[in-house]
A = this chain, B = another copy of it.
Amino acid sequence: MNVRRLKFWGWGYADEALDPDEVARVVARVTERLGVAGLEPVPEPRIEDLTLAPPRLSPPDSLAGICSIETYDRAAHTYGKSYADYARTLARDFSPAPDVVAFPATESDVVDLLDWADGAGAAVIPFGAGSSVVGGTEPAVGDGYGGTISMDLRRLDQVLEVDKTSRAARIQAGALGPGLEAQLKPHGLTLRHFPQSYEFSTLGGWIATRSGGHFATLYTHIDDFVESLRVVTPAGTLESRRLPGSGAGPSPDRLFIGSEGILGVITEAWMRLQDRPTFRAAASVLFDDFYEAAEAVRAVSQAGLYPSNCRLIDANEAAMTQAGDGSAHLVVLAFESADHPVEPWMARALECCADHGGRADDTGHLGGAAGAWRNAFLRAPFYRSALIRRGLIQDTFETAITWDRFPDFHATLMETAADAVRRVTGREGRVSCRFTHTYPDGPAPYFTFHGVGRKDALLEQWRDIKQAVSETLISLGGTITHHHAVGRAHRPWYDKQRPDLFAEVLIAAKKRLDPNGLLNPGVLVDPER
């Protein structure tokens, strides 16, 4: 189908092997910190070992050429990349597998596939590159459908038009990060949106899930980069106007941004771009007290400096990612510009840190801390399958909260997570925190937990921990997701978070655009059918 095959489980392409030495080093680092050794991996699942239920759907001849019922394709479109997905993969449970995987090459293929699905009573799950960690692309649609079609959009991968004057481009929704950047590079432009999943996620997926980029402040969210959208729905196709700003009614784009595939299939978007940065400054600052470090980040966030990086990494997480030696909390600062030297900005940000007891990082990590951290950040998803095969529980949860509530919120969540890991696994685990994004009114804290699980109960153990931390963060006023999306995994807490009447409005919108409820059933809302 001329898309490069992804691993059917784990991170990366099917033809990319992970360096065994790299894996060994990571496993050693994690197990050492957890005080265990000699964990042996269970065997890796193989496609040839899987038995999927026979497909319930058979594409019409006109669509057969863009559809697959191969076991590999069905298996590779069953799960995303969450801990729960990996646990079920290791249990060889592929019961949610789609009946058919479709690879539309044109927008009219998308229309035709929706028409076929409608006639067949099938559910359609829009699929970018499957990096969801919240079950957003899992064909678990409940009863009442004649089958499921995973619609993989990666063949729609072109930058169709570049407007260098306005710095914008019309890009198809199935373009992966590296592919779209490669097409923009000759124009000297960049989308500059680098989520951790960048290599294995698509523009359409970013828009549908309100993706957060790597940068800590200002222009980092995909929401702000969307200039206009084109969306195919079962009720027809709609396209918003290319405008730099508008006050004409509620924003049509904002309804589809974050709609997670329940209202339509995003096929293309005009995206705001940036010039490629040439001026850079980076520094890291050490703090003995975590909350003082948070105050420094708050000061920088409220100063109107807009660093590209302003990331607080607690001592535990610094050690785990080799960005520090574990003796201090770390604030990684960076400024970037395509236009002007950024030293005055950095100088002021460093003053804010010094005001709160920060000291220059002279542990040997100076300059290297950010690089070490960034490398660890990009490689981390590759390691998760190796860790879980050894019975290690490792997951993250992320949220956002206003500054006034942050210290209590953070302390309670750290304790809740540590307690849950201890209770569930019977021994101490590790919990750490960093900020992924910071705003003038609050941070987006991102928590990581590790524990030594039981290979025969990985899913149940994880669920118990996930339940505990999710309940706590929702009851304390956080959001169930800052940038991982809701999907199927976060539904119970999303339902507590969003106003009931807003859910009713979403249902009404869905009824109008997708009257037969074909699109991504189970995600965000449950309209009656």
Show the binding face of A for B, using Cβ within 8 Å: 163, 165-168, 209-212, 221, 227, 233, 235-236, 238-252, 254-260, 272, 274-275, 298, 302-306, 337-340, 344, 348, 400-404, 437, 439-444, 477-486, 490, 494, 497-502, 504-509, 511-513, 524
Contacts and interface: CB of A to CB of B under 8 A. Distances in A.
Contacts of A439: 244-245
A504 to B, nearest CB: 5
Copies of this protein in the complex: 2
A505 B500 contact: no
B498 A505 contact: no
Contacts of A211: 247
A379 to B, nearest CB: 23
A246 B481 contact: yes
Contacts of A344: 340, 344
B243 A402 contact: yes
Given A165-B403, A441-B167, A245 B258 contact: no
B241 A250 contact: no
A400 B494 CA distance: 36
Given A249-B260, A275-B302, A339-B348, A243 B440 contact: no
A509 B499 contact: no
Contact of A400 (B245, B251, B305, B340): B245
B499 A402 contact: no
A238 B509 contact: no
Given A221-B245, A248-B490, 16 more contacts: A163-B402, A168-B402, A227-B402, A240-B502, A241-B477, A243-B442, A244-B440, A244-B443, A246-B481, A247-B485, A248-B481, A248-B498, A251-B254, A272-B440, A303-B340, A505-B513
A306 B191 CA distance: 19
B167 A302 contact: yes
A449 to B, nearest CB: 20
| Most chain B beta-carbon contacts within 10 A, residue among A165, A247, A401, A507 | A247
Contacts of A504: 235, 512-513
Contacts of A338: 303-304
B499 A239 contact: yes
A506 B19 CA distance: 53
A247 B257 CA distance: 9
A259 B505 CA distance: 13
Given A227-B441, A508-B508, A509-B505, A246 B479 contact: yes
Contact of A501 (B402, B403, B497, B513): B513
Contact of A245 (B275, B482, B511): B482
A218 B345 CA distance: 17
A248 to B, nearest CB: 5
A260 B508 CA distance: 19
A259 B247 CA distance: 10
| Most chain B beta-carbon contacts within 10 A, residue among A163, A259, A500 | A163
A494 B248 contact: yes
B243 A401 contact: yes
B256 A250 contact: yes
A212 B490 contact: no
Given A403-B166, A511-B508, A247 B497 contact: no
Contact of A166 (B210, B245, B256, B441): B441
Contacts of A524: 249
A162 B303 CA distance: 19
Contacts of A484: 247
A474 B482 CA distance: 37
**What 4 A-B pairs have minimum CB-CB distances, sorted nearest first?**
A244-B442, A238-B499, A244-B439, A254-B254
A348 B483 CA distance: 34
A136 to B, nearest CB: 11
22 contacts: A163-B402, A166-B442, A168-B402, A221-B245, A227-B441, A235-B501, A238-B499, A241-B477, A243-B442, A244-B440, A245-B482, A246-B400, A249-B494, A249-B498, A250-B258, A252-B502, A255-B255, A272-B440, A303-B339, A505-B509, A507-B512, A508-B508
Contacts of A165: 298, 402-404
Nearest to A502: B252
Nearest to A275: B302
Contacts of A212: 245, 247
A331 B508 CA distance: 47
Contacts of A257: 250-251
B348 A479 contact: no
Given A254-B254, A255-B505, A501-B236, A247 B511 contact: no
B247 A209 contact: yes
Contact of A404 (B163, B243, B477, B498): B163
Nearest to A237: B501
